[in-house]
Amino acid sequence: MKQDKLDKSRGKSFVSAQQVAERAGVSRSAVSRTFTDGASVAPATRKRVLQAAEELGYTVNHLARGLIREKSNIVSLVVADINTPYQAKMTEALTRRLQAANKVAMIINSSGESTDVEMALRQTLHYRADATIVLSGQPKASLIETCLNNGQHVILINRDDPVPGPVSVIVTNRAAARQAFDMLERAGCRKLAVIASTVGSASLAAREKAFVAAAQSANIDVSVSRLGPTAYASGAEAARQVLSGADRPDGVFCVTDLLACGFLDAARNEFGIKIPDELCVVGFDDIEQAGWSSYELTTFRQPIEQIAEHVVDLIDHHTPVDAIQDPIRFQAEPVWRKSVRPR
Amino acid sequence: MKQDKLDKSRGKSFVSAQQVAERAGVSRSAVSRTFTDGASVAPATRKRVLQAAEELGYTVNHLARGLIREKSNIVSLVVADINTPYQAKMTEALTRRLQAANKVAMIINSSGESTDVEMALRQTLHYRADATIVLSGQPKASLIETCLNNGQHVILINRDDPVPGPVSVIVTNRAAARQAFDMLERAGCRKLAVIASTVGSASLAAREKAFVAAAQSANIDVSVSRLGPTAYASGAEAARQVLSGADRPDGVFCVTDLLACGFLDAARNEFGIKIPDELCVVGFDDIEQAGWSSYELTTFRQPIEQIAEHVVDLIDHHTPVDAIQDPIRFQAEPVWRKSVRPR
DNA sequence: TTGTATGCGTTATCAG
DNA sequence: CTGATAACGCATACAA
């Protein structure tokens, strides 16, 4: 008996409620009740159980608990480029708030191939996640439906696909892009360029199109460059192409801050262009680097904390919806720094 | 009967092996065997099961599987500043490789308070994670021991605490710091400064001390600044303090690239100092921004991919160790760019 | 190869 | 307030 307990405590294996019950001299149920919120258990019993648990190093097995409660408290985050400043920030906010709501984040790295997103969603199902938050990739509608059918909550962030079922949370891309045009137009820019990317999501495409539309309806010349992923190097490459031509643009809208940083660096260091005197640049996202003194980039801030808060709320209250939902929109606010001439 | 199946398939709830078995006209075990590697099942049966599963949208419940196999395939990652370039990169590499090894990463955000790390480790136990990888924070030895006692693998990355039990993976901080000194000394620097941080981990402290020791044994003057967390702003602030004095240093070792970026920006943009002509700067980590053309920072690269590969290997092979293990060391290689004068 | 029976660690239900 | 018992979904030893 005693021997058995000793073995267990050293035995490199998890302690069960049964063992705690034996040590405390109560039933399994008493132990269970001690660890479930709102269960009634006498203070004395509770105390004895708690002590036994402490001594044995007992921890409730959430795998088993999730099995019977049909609620795992796991939320999966499907994300591709966690190492990208924007995604990293979003991931940080989401995991922090999820944790505060007594949930835990399982992160699914869907980098690269198209099959990966599929695998990712599969994992989500394997572990019976209560919800899936998609930050990257374009999951097939059929897979989303599977998640939904299994009672999972599916939340799409900044991928405004016209898929019915999941809840979409997006930022006011079009309005912000129009505002970006206004900024540049008022700064006196008369020849514009927008730097987008080849792997653009719906959000990025929306920014690009809205900007172009605004420029065209104001009869101002615009060109569009897409040459590479949404990364620093692509922005620099775009600058090389766009700025080496005869008539350079005097105003540029980069669909992403990362692109803008690359563009700015190439423009200044390779072409010796003065920002914002000769060229104005507007970015999007307000990543940390946008505020660094080498960039001082005028951009649009995504309200990441608000988005994260809202998403976690959504999951917590779990309003199951059958109908097609309108996406929830958050305002992207302009952040004035020094890459655009004032007024 | 039939009605029941229909209800289940629409009923926003997960499908069980039982339901698949009924539809395929086989036993539960047949279904189970179809989905377990290396189990013997007739091709015909297998096919029928697979089809039924497909139709019903069945997915193996890894929670239940983990319960009986005593192996959840969950690995938890304890990390504080995921939004920091270095940690983000490491997290990306780890999650990607974990996934390739058929495991899934549960991320525990241990930002802020000291109790958080404790809570984090607790979560790790709740979900019966097979292993815990600690990237941030200083978990109490007692908690680590609890994890170990429960048969978990504990891996500490870049926190070379003298705790027996867990496996430590670290980078050759001291050697690299000495090399940093050599770089600066050969570049002709005669008055040095090291920029560290107030919340320094053991790794950061090791870099600082080794650099100072090297300088002192060569009879070269060194000062140490620690004013803030390991962040861009702290580096900039350090520059303001260090460079406003009468006799400025002509060589600086920043314990982290993030600090170095802040230092460089302040030095150039606020003091008009020419890098590397008037001042040489060396960083550590080789984050992406170190390669951006505004910085061109000479630094030391942490072999993140190698580390991640090794860590995942370690978890896969699960060599249980009772003895105190020597930390596994990886070489941090110098990356020459333009913030240090050549020769 | 297949099916039956048992157990994994929990919690919910129902008597007491 | 407490204890016995039946699920939860799955994998396996054993018998067929």
Q: Which domains does chain B have, with CATH numbers?
A: 2-60 (1.10.260.40), 72-172+304-332 (3.40.50.2300), 173-301 (3.40.50.2300)
**Is B17 near strand D, with its CB below 7 A from some atom of it?**
yes
Per-residue tokens: A105: 């984040």
Q: How far apart are CA B202 and CA B189, in angstroms?
A: 27
Query: What φ, ψ does residue A101 adopt, rounded to 5°?
Result: -95, 20
Chain A contact set for B110 (CB, 8 A): none
The predicted pLDDT at position A87 comes to 96
Q: Give the residue ranges of DSSP H helices in B136-201.
A: 141-149, 173-186
Instruction: Give per-residue pLDDT as tens, A239-281.
Output: 999 999 888 999 999 999 999 999 999 999 999 999 999 999 9
Instruction: Give per-residue pLDDT as tens, A61-74.
Output: 999 999 999 899 99
Chain B contact set for A62 (CB, 8 A): 126-128
The predicted pLDDT at position A175 comes to 97
The predicted pLDDT at position B319 comes to 63
**Is A79 near strand C, with its CB below 7 A from some atom of it?**
no
Per-residue tokens: B120: 């984090």
- Assess whether pLDDT exceeds 70 at residue B193: yes
- Cα torsion B21, B25, B26, B27: sign: positive
Amino acid at A225: S
Q: Is B147 helix (H, G, I), strand (E, B) or coil?
A: helix
**Is B68 near strand D, with its CB below 7 A from some atom of it?**
yes
Of chain B, the percentage scoring pLDDT greater than 90 comes to 73
- Assess whether pLDDT exceeds 80 at residue A8: no
Q: pLDDT category, B6, cuts 50, 70, 90? A: very low
Residue B160: closest CA among B116, B112, B204: B204
**Is B99 near strand D, with its CB below 7 A from some atom of it?**
no
Least reliable range by pLDDT among A3-17, A125-139, B93-107, B142-156? A3-17
Please compute the mean of the pLDDT values over residues B173-196 and round it to a whole number.
Answer: 97
Instruction: Give per-residue pLDDT as tens, A114-145.
Output: 667 778 788 899 999 999 999 987 777 777 88
The predicted pLDDT at position A323 comes to 57
Of chain A, the percentage scoring pLDDT greater than 70 comes to 92
Q: Which of A84, A94, A109 to mutate to test the interface with B (most CBs of B within 10 A)?
A: A109
| Distance from residue B21's CA to nucleotide C4's C1', rounded to whole Å | 14
Q: How far apart are CA A6 and CA A11, in angstroms?
A: 8
- Residue B13 sits at the chain A interface (C-beta within 8 Å): yes
The distance of B209 to chain A (nearest Cα, Å) reads 29
Residue A147: closest CA among A109, A115, A121, A127: A121
The predicted pLDDT at position B4 comes to 37
The distance of A250 to chain B (nearest Cα, Å) reads 21
The predicted pLDDT at position B223 comes to 96
Q: Is B230 helix (H, G, I), strand (E, B) or coil?
A: coil
> Which of B's residues 7-36 have CB atoms within 7 A of nucleic strand C?
26-30, 33
Residue A319 burial (CB < 10 Å; 0-12/13-18/19+)? Answer: exposed
Please compute the mean of the pLDDT values over residues A143-154 and round it to a whole number.
Answer: 85
* B84, B96, B289: residue with CB nearest A111: B96
Instruction: Give per-residue pLDDT as tens, B33-76.
Output: 999 988 889 999 999 999 999 999 999 999 999 999 989 999 99
- Residue B201 sits at the chain A interface (C-beta within 8 Å): no
Q: What is the pTM of this model?
A: 0.93
The distance of A213 to chain B (nearest Cα, Å) reads 32
| Distance from residue B29's CA to nucleotide D16's C1', rounded to whole Å | 15
| Distance from residue B41's CA to nucleotide D6's C1', rounded to whole Å | 31
Least reliable range by pLDDT among A151-160, A162-171, A207-216, B287-296? A162-171
Distance of CA B171 to the CA centre of its chain: 12
Of chain A, the percentage scoring pLDDT greater than 90 comes to 74
The predicted pLDDT at position B138 comes to 73
Distance of CA A94 to the CA centre of its chain: 7
Q: pLDDT category, B290, cuts 50, 70, 90? A: very high
Q: Find the helix packing angle between A2-10 and A43-56, rounded to 10°.
A: 60
Dihedral class, residue A285 (left if φ above 0, else alpha if ψ from -120 to 50, else beta): left
The predicted pLDDT at position A7 comes to 39
A 64-83 residues inside an 8 A Cβ radius of B: 64, 66-67, 70, 72, 74, 81-83
Q: What is the mean pLDDT of chain B?
A: 90
Instruction: Give per-residue pLDDT as tens, A92-115.
Output: 999 999 998 999 999 999 886 666
Q: What is the mean pLDDT of chain A?
A: 90
Per-residue tokens: A69: 């409660």
The predicted pLDDT at position A5 comes to 35
The predicted pLDDT at position A113 comes to 64
Q: Specify the higher pLDDT residue, B140 or B48.
A: B48
